[in-house]
Amino acid sequence: MKKIFMIIILSVFGLTPAFGQFNWETNIRLENNIGQKFNINYLGVKQNATDGLDFNLGEEDLPTIPVPDPELSAVFYINNDVNTWSYREYRAVPDSNNFKKIYTFAIEYGSSATTVDVTWDHIGTEVDSAYIEDIYEDIFIYKVDMKKNQSVHLTNHAANLQKITIWYNKSGTGVVENSEKNDIFVYPNPAEDNILLENASMGENLKIYNQLGICVLDTNYLGEKINISKLDAGLYFIKSNNRLSKFIKLW
């Protein structure tokens, strides 16, 4: 009876119970090395959103990159549809407590820019995990944990498509580990002289192979930078405990 009475009181005063509502967003900001900025991109989930185009939430069906090409800009592909572009992309909230959403967006660096810094807001307990990575012929040039970092430095014009994968947690407590966290992540990627590893255990054996499958480095991980300065430029693979990751060695 008390519960029913409380619901009636809330209804009388035009209120609804707080539970059942889950809304989350973050701003994706860009700045290139010539000082241009672009910071009107938002992604997230909204209780009243769909996975399609929601004009009422500020999503737009843009016919082209809205900033004069090739100046600094970025647009989301709505539900990964390359024919529907928008500055914002909000996804529907399912009934499940933990759920995954994937967002795809394209970046134009700018006519004379060579790098772009992508930044985002601090990500709290509403998110179990969030990773940003490039999409480039199935080769991960970089993959960054967005909960541990708030920026990524991009240098590869060829990989203008980026993917953000987010596991949401409607309870706002605890973190659910998913299989993606078992990967070894290499950064910076591409790299020149040294690389660092994430999710590698101290003392575990690491082998680096070139594209021909030849082992060019066999070492134990000591939690420090790995010197790759003597390797030739190209694509390499790191293998440890049957886990495989990739990186590109620059000149």
CATH of domain 183-249: 2.60.40.3080
pLDDT on residue 137 = 56
* Distance in angstroms (rounded) separating the CA atoms of residues 12 and 161: 49
Task: Tell me the sheet residues that pair with 37.
Answer: 31
- Angle made by CA atoms 29, 31, 36, in degrees to the nearest 5: 125
* Distance in angstroms (rounded) separating the CA atoms of residues 38 and 118: 10
pLDDT on residue 225 = 83
Q: Which residues of the chain have pLDDT under 70?
A: 1-20, 63-70, 136-140, 172-182
Domain ranges for the chain, please list them. 24-179, 183-249
pLDDT on residue 10 = 37
DSSP code of 232? P
* Distance in angstroms (rounded) separating the CA atoms of residues 196 and 224: 7
* Distance in angstroms (rounded) separating the CA atoms of residues 25 and 15: 23
pLDDT on residue 139 = 58
Of 154, 163, 98, whose CA–CA distance to 135 is shortest?
A: 163
pLDDT on residue 159 = 74
pLDDT on residue 173 = 59
86 touches 62 (CB < 8 A):
yes
Phi, psi angles (nearest 5°) of residue 166: -125, 130
> End-to-end CA distance of the chain, in Å?
74
Task: Tell me the sheet residues that pair with 45.
Answer: 24, 91
Three-class SS state of 206: strand
Q: What is the residue-wise DSSP string for 110-159? A: -TT---EEEEE----TTEEEEEEEE-STT--S-EEETTT-SEEEE--TT-
